[in-house]
Amino acid sequence: MTAAISAPPAIERPAHRDGNVLRWLSAYTASMIGDSVYFVALSWAATRSGSPAQAGLVLAAGSLPRAVLMLGGGVIADRFGPRRVVIGSDAVRCAVILAVAVLLLVTAPGIWLLVLVALVFGAVDALFLPSVGALPARITAPGQLGRVQGMRGFAQRVATVTAAPVGGLAVAMGGPAAGFGVAGVLFAVSLALLMAVCVRELVPDEEPGTDDSAWRQLVDGLRYIRGHRVLAPLLLVAAVTELGFAGPANIGVVLLADQRGWGAAGMAWIIGGFGVGAGAAALLLAVRGRLPRAGAVQSWGVVAGSIALGAIAFVPSVGAAAVAGLCVGLCTGLGGALIGAMLQTVTEPAYLGRVTSVATLFTVGIAPLSFPVVGAAIGAWGVEPVFAASAAVSAAGGVLGLCSRPLRRAELPR
């Protein structure tokens, strides 16, 4: 099946002045804050309902269907259109979370009910994430996609800063029921905004054949990625970089601060450095809209950010570690935003859902598997060698990008 997009508007409107883009961005931000508030409420409900091991089971349960079903979610997004899928999945998330909030008001659910909620939420997330990621190319012109990715990255930082106090305050004032209620309201706001977003839908040139099954579409999507001169190395860079980066940036920083005696405050300074740097990088791309030689810049950004990541374990003070964290966020944040923008611009629209699902699978499905490995390795060998090895893996992603001539010479559209 081939596909085309209906003609874009004659006048290219800057993304930061486009009400349609701003509605999508607001919906995405509300959804991200809702996700985090939901996780806070689920964590608290799990710890109040069972043992620490059972609480860990609840928190891990959602990641399994999300990872297993993510590629299928990309197929569904391309098959039925991302707008339809994202609205339907957001509606289900809203209904499930509000139902749990009501249930918590009238009874104390057992641990297995919470596991079921986590499984359902993870399965619906596998539909929502590829679809919401496939929307930017359908709501703005190609020349604005770099700016949209910068705006999206900045919104992620705003959501990260906002979500924890909102979720904590809700749970503190009304328990898990209030936390789930706030998350459900945020999902409802996201749903209302998404329904108001105008999308240029794909128009098929021909009807799908009888053998155009979901499995066939998945295989076609993976084959498309493998044969693409820019997309294949781009996704390889993203996967390898995230595999090396995720463990140290999450569990590694916690263990480092504990072993050095820097405490929670030291950990907060380092993580804050990450966030400020990544937010500044996203804001830079949002303001400029385009950087020349985007393919080379993102690869060099990954290499520089990886070196700074390794340096965190070797610097002598919290202040120096926070500065290194700032460099990590600035370099890898810029690289990540450019990867997202190039992914949107080089992918044929008919494949955007499947390509987005593969990219998302690396970040939310595969990379978190490194957390226990990194934790065990730090316990066995200490923070310095583990941070150095992880930084080398992350930097290898950038080196792979620099070794690919098509990716190195890739540009964002004007």
The partner residues of 203 in beta bridges, in order of sequence, read 4
- Taking a C-beta distance cutoff of 8 angstroms, is the pair 193, 26 a contact? yes
Q: How many residues are present in the chain?
A: 414
User: Would you state the pLDDT for residue 201?
Assistant: 63
Q: What is the pLDDT of residue 208?
A: 44
- Burial of 205 (C-beta count, 10 Å sphere; 0-12/13-18/19+): exposed
pLDDT tens per residue, range 80-106: 889 899 999 999 999 999 999 998 888
The more confidently predicted of residues 353 and 157 is 353
Site of tokens 């494949």: 351
Question: Does residue 320 carry a pLDDT above 60?
Answer: yes
What integer is the mean pLDDT of 259-286? Answer: 87
Q: What is the spatial distance between Cα 40 and Cα 170, in angstroms, rounded to a whole number?
A: 10
Percentage of the chain beyond pLDDT 90 is 41
Asked whether this chain's domains 15-140+156-203 and 214-408 adopt the same fold, the reply is: yes
**Boundaries of every domain in the chain:** 15-140+156-203, 214-408
Mean pLDDT of the chain, nearest integer: 86
Q: Print burial letters for 138-168: b (CB count within 10 Å at least 16), e (below 16).
A: bbbbebbbbbbbbbbbbbbbbbbeebeebbe
362 touches 91 (CB < 8 A): no
Average pLDDT over residues 268-294: 87
Strongest mean pLDDT among 44-48, 57-61, 98-102: 98-102
Confidence bin at 321 (pLDDT 50/70/90): very high
pLDDT band at 237 (very low <50, low <70, confident <90, very high): very high
214-408: CATH number: 1.20.1250.20
The string of pLDDT tens digits covering residues 125-165 is: 999 989 988 888 888 888 888 888 888 888 888 887 787 78
Average pLDDT over residues 179-201: 91
Average pLDDT over residues 182-211: 75
Structural contact between residues 238 and 356, judged by C-beta atoms closer than 8 angstroms? no
Q: Report which of 23, 48, 39 is spatially closest to residue 125, judged by C-alpha positions.
A: 39
pLDDT exceeds cutoff 60 at 7: no
- Predicted confidence band of residue 3 (pLDDT cuts 50, 70, 90): very low
Task: List the single range of 2-11, 303-312, 331-340, 385-394 with lowest mean pLDDT.
Answer: 2-11
Mean pLDDT value across residues 368-382: 84
**Helix (H, G, I), strand (E, B), or coil: what is residue 71?**
helix
- Lowest-confidence region among 43-47, 345-349, 366-370, 375-379: 366-370
CATH 1.20.1250.20 fits 15-140+156-203, yes or no: yes
- For position 404, what pLDDT does the model report? 95
| Selection from 31, 146, 47 nearest residue 92 by Cα | 31
State the pLDDT at residue 213: 80
- The pTM assigned to this predicted structure is 0.83
Contacts of 156 (CB under 8 A, 6+ apart): 32, 278, 282
Paired strand residues for 204 = 3
Backbone angles phi, psi at 120, to 5 degrees: -65, -45
The per-residue pLDDT for 171 is: 86
User: At which residue do the structure tokens 């579409």 appear?
Assistant: 217
Q: Is the pLDDT of residue 50 over 80?
A: no
At 204 the pLDDT is 44
Give residue 205's pLDDT band: very low, low, confident or very high (50, 70, 90): very low
φ/ψ (deg, to 5) at 14? -55, 135
Locate 54 and state its tokens. Answer: 């059972």
Confidence band for 5, pLDDT divided at 50, 70 and 90: very low
- The reported pLDDT for the residue numbered 403 is 96
- Check whether 247 has a pLDDT greater than 80: yes
Q: What angle do CA 228, 355, 84 make, to 5 degrees?
A: 140
**278 Cβ contact partners less than 8 Å away, ≥ 6 residues apart:** 153, 156, 157, 329, 330, 332, 333, 336
What's the average model confidence in pLDDT over 162-182? 86
